[in-house]
Amino acid sequence: MWSRVRQFGAALLDFALPPHCLACRQPLDAAAEYVCPRCWAPILKAREDRCPRCSCPGAGRGCANCAV
Ligand SMILES: [Zn+2]
Ligand SMILES: [Zn+2]
C-alpha cells in the first residue's frame, strides 16, 4: 500500500513541479534544475555584484558599509 502512496506522491510532484524554468517558463532539459542557464546567468552575476558580507547591491569588493 505504501508503494502505491509513494507512486501517487511522485506523480503529484511531477504535476505540481513540471520541469519548466521558473523565470521564463521555458521547458528544461533536466528536472533537477529550476531555472534555465539563460536565466541563471544574470542571477549569478547579480550575486557576484553584491557584497558578500552585507549583500548590498552593486558594492562589489570595495564595500563602504563593511570597509574591508
Ligand atoms: Zn529561463
Ligand atoms: Zn558590505
- For 10-52, the pLDDT digits (tens) are 766 665 566 788 889 888 876 556 888 888 888 788 777 788 7
Q: Which residue has the higher pLDDT, 54 or 57?
A: 54
The pLDDT of residue 15 is 59
Contact 60, 44 (CB under 8 A): no
Q: Rounded to two decimals, what is the model's pTM?
A: 0.41
> How would you label 33-65 residue by residue, b for 16+ Cβ within 10 Å and e otherwise?
eebbeebeeeeeeeeeebbeeeeeeebeeebee
- Ligand 1 center–CA 16 separation, angstroms: 18
Q: How confident is residue 65, by pLDDT bands cut at 50, 70 and 90? A: confident
Q: Which residue has the higher pLDDT, 23 or 67?
A: 23
Which burial class, exposed, middle or buried, applies to 32 when counting CB atoms under 10 A from its CB (0-12, 13-18, 19+)? exposed
- Ligand 1 center–CA 31 separation, angstroms: 13
- Ligand 2 center–CA 52 separation, angstroms: 7
